[in-house]
C-alpha cells in the first residue's frame, strides 16, 4: 500500500506507475481516492473545529460560573458538540475504510530499473551461473526415475489426497530433507536467525502480505475459523511484526524459516498429476529481511546472491531473471526469479523468487521502526532459499547418470550419511 501523501502530492506519478504495470482499469481509482480524501479532510477540519469550540466553551463556562451567573445556555451548547463530533467520526470512519480498501488495490511504485513488459515472457535475463549441459544420454523425467527405484508412490497419493500430492520414500525422501537442511545451515552461516513459524495465519495477516487477487488464487481457508494455511512462511514471518514498532538498534532483522506450504494453484498451468513441479503441498526454506529504507536494495542484491550460491554449491546451473513491470505482483517494487537448468527440457525453469516490497507491505501491516528521533515505516524483503520438491527436479536431472542413478555432490554428502550415489 503506497503512502496517500503520494496521491495527494503527485497523482500523475501514481497514474504513470499503473500504466507501466498495464493495469489501466485501475486508473479511475486515483481520482476516486482523491475525491474521498478531500471529503475526509473536510470532515477532519470540521471535527477539529468542533473540538476547538468545545474547549473554548468549557473555558467560558468556567469564567461565567466564577461570576455567579447562569451558564445553562453554554452548557446546553457544550452538550451538543460531542454528539456532532461522534456523527462526524462515524462518517470519517466509513470514508477511511473505503479509502483503505482502494489503496490496497493500487500497486506499489516500481523501481526505476524495472524493465517494462506485459507478462513473464518479457522478463530479462541478468546473469547465468554454471554451465548448462545436456548429456549424450536421455534424461528420465524425475517422476519416472523416482518410480523406477521405488522412491515415490503417486497412485496412492491420488487415492488419499488427489492430484498435486505425492509419497516419497527412502533415499529420495532423505535427499529432499537434506537439501532443505543444507539451505537452512547455509543461511544460518550468513548470520540469519532460524525460525519455525506458525503454518496458519489469520485473515488480517493474509490481507497484509498479499493482494486480494493472489489470496483468492492461492490460499486455503480453514472452514469455520479465521485461519488460512500459509502459501509460504514469509506470510507468517512478516505477520509476526504486525502493529509493532521495532527499536532501530534491532534493525536489520534477518530471519530464515522452514515450513510446509499449501497452494490452490488455480490457473491455466494446471497441476502435476505425476511429478514434483506444480503441487498443492511442498516444503521451503525462506528468508526475510526487515530493514532501514535506505538499505533495502543492498539487501535485495545480497539475498538474491544467497540463493544463487546455494544452488551453485549443489552444482546446479542457474540464471537470474529481472521481472518486468507486468509480471510484478502489486506489492513488489522490484523482483527477480532464480531459474535452474533442465537438461531434460533443455531450458531453465523457476525455482525461487526474490522481492523488495519497500514500505508497501509494512504499511499494510503497520510495521514501523523507532530511530533517528522518529517513527517510520520499515522496508521488507523476502526470498526463496530453496523450495523442494521443485529444487529436487533440478537436482535429479542435473546429477542423473546414464543408468538413472543420481550423484550426490560433496557439499550434500554429510547430509546423506556419506552416500555419493543413490538409486543403485
Contact yes or no for 131/45 (Cβ under 8 A): no
Higher per-residue confidence, 182 vs 372: 182
Q: Residue-wise over 306-330: b if at least 16 C-beta within 10 A, else e? A: bbbebbeebbbbbbbbbbbbbbbbb
Same domain, 179 and 271: yes
Q: Which run of H or of E encompasses 214?
A: helix 212-218
Same domain, 36 and 166: no
CA distance 235 to 195: 13
Domain finish residue from 72, 103, 134: 103
Average pLDDT over residues 49-64: 82
Tally of residues, the chain: 424
Average pLDDT over residues 133-159: 93
Give the CATH number of the domain where residue 20 resides.
1.10.287.40
- Is 214 inside a domain boundary? yes
Same domain, 247 and 290: yes
Same domain, 95 and 171: no
**pLDDT tens track for 204-215:** 999 888 877 777
pTM: 0.90
Give the CATH number of the domain where residue 237 resides.
3.30.930.10
Contact yes or no for 134/346 (Cβ under 8 A): yes
Domain finish residue from 78, 103, 128: 103
Write down the mean pLDDT value for the chain. Answer: 93
DSSP state of 197: -
Same domain, 216 and 86: no
Contact yes or no for 137/35 (Cβ under 8 A): no
Closest CA to 343 of 133, 141, 143: 133
Angle, CA of 317, 322 and 323, to the nearest 5°: 120
Same domain, 91 and 170: no
Q: CA–CA distance from 96 to each of 34, 48, 183, 310 (Å)?
A: 12, 17, 44, 45
Closest CA to 351 of 389, 324, 390: 390
Lowest-confidence segment of 22-31, 148-157, 215-224, 311-320 by average pLDDT: 215-224
Is the bond preceding residue 261 a cis peptide, omega within 30 degrees? no
Same domain, 155 and 93: no
- Is 115 inside a domain boundary? no
* Cell, residue 174: 532423505
- Is 144 inside a domain boundary? yes
Q: CA–CA distance from 325 to each of 2, 119, 142, 334, 376 (Å)?
A: 17, 8, 33, 8, 27
Same domain, 266 and 344: yes
Higher per-residue confidence, 70 vs 116: 116
The number of distinct structural domains making up the chain is 2
- Is 108 inside a domain boundary? no
CA distance 404 to 149: 9
Same domain, 240 and 351: yes
Q: Would you state the pLDDT for residue 77? A: 75
Same domain, 97 and 173: no
Domain that holds residue 189: 120-422
59 burial level (CB within 10 Å; 0-12, 13-18, 19+):
exposed
Same domain, 243 and 367: yes
Closest CA to 54 of 34, 79, 31: 79
Amino acid at each position: 500500500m503506497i503512502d496517500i501523501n503520494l496521491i495527494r502530492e503527485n497523482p500523475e506519478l501514481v497514474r504513470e506507475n499503473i500504466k507501466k504495470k498495464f493495469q489501466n482499469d485501475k486508473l479511475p481509482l486515483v481520482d476516486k481516492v482523491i475525491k474521498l480524501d478531500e471529503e475526509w479532510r473536510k470532515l477532519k477540519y470540521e471535527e477539529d473545529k468542533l473540538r476547538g469550540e468545545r474547549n473554548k466553551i468549557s473555558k467560558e463556562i468556567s469564567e461565567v460560573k466564577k461570576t455567579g451567573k447562569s451558564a445553562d445556555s453554554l452548557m446546553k451548547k457544550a452538550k451538543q458538540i460531542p454528539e456532532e463530533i461522534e456523527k462526524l467520526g462515524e462518517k470519517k470512519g466509513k470514508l477511511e475504510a473505503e479509502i483503505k480498501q482502494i489503496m490496497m488495490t493500487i500497486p506499489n511504485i516500481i523501481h526505476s530499473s524495472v524493465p517494462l513488459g506485459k507478462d513473464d515472457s518479457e522478463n530479462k535475463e541478468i546473469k547465468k551461473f554454471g554451465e548448462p549441459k545436456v548429456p549424450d544420454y536421455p534424461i528420465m523425467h524425475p517422476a519416472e526415475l523416482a518410480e523406477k527405484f521405488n522412491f515415490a508412490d503417486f497412485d496412492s497419493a491420488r487415492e488419499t489426497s488427489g492430484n498435486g500430492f505425492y509419497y516419497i520414500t527412502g533415499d529420495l525422501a532423505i535427499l529432499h530433507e537434506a537439501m532443505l537442511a543444507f539451505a537452512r545451515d547455509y543461511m544460518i552461516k550468513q548470520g540469519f536467525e532460524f525460525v519455525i513459524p506458525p503454518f496458519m495465519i489469520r485473515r488480517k495477516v493474509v490481507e497484509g502480505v498479499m493482494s486480494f487477487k493472489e489470496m483468492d488464487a492461492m490460499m486455503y481457508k480453514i472452514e469455520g475459523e479465521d485461519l488460512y494455511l500459509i502459501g509460504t512462511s514469509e506470510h507468517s514471518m512478516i505477520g509476526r511484526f504486525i502493529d509493532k514498532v521495532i527499536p532501530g538498534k534491532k534493525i536489520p532483522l534477518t530471519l530464515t524459516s522452514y515450513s510446509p506450504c499449501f497452494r490452490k494453484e488455480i490457473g491455466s498451468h494446471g497441476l502435476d498429476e505425476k511429478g514434483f513441479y506444480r503441487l498443492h503441498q511442498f516444503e521451503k526454506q525462506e528468508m526475510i529481511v526487515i530493514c532501514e529504507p535506505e538499505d533495502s536494495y543492498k539487501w535485495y542484491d545480497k539475498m538474491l546472491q544467497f540463493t544463487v550460491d546455494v544452488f551453485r554449491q549443489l552444482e546446479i546451473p542457474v540464471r537470474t531473471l529481472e521481472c518486468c513491470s507486468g509480471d510484478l505482483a502489486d506489492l513488489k517494487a522490484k523482483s527477480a526469479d532464480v531459474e535452474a537448468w533442465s537438461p531434460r527440457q533443455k531450458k531453465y525453469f523457476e525455482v525461487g523468487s526474490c522481492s523488495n516490497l519497500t514500505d508497501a507491505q509494512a504499511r499494510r501491516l503497520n510495521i514501523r521502526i523507532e530511530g533517528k528521533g522518529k517513527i517510520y515505516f520499515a522496508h521488507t524483503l523476502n526470498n526463496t532459499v530453496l523450495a523442494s520438491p521443485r529444487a529436487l527436479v533440478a537436482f535429479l536431472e542435473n546429477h542423473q547418470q546414464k543408468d538413472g542413478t543420481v550423484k550426490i555432490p560433496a557439499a550434500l554428502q554429510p547430509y546423506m550419511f556419506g552416500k555419493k550415489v543413490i538409486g543403485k
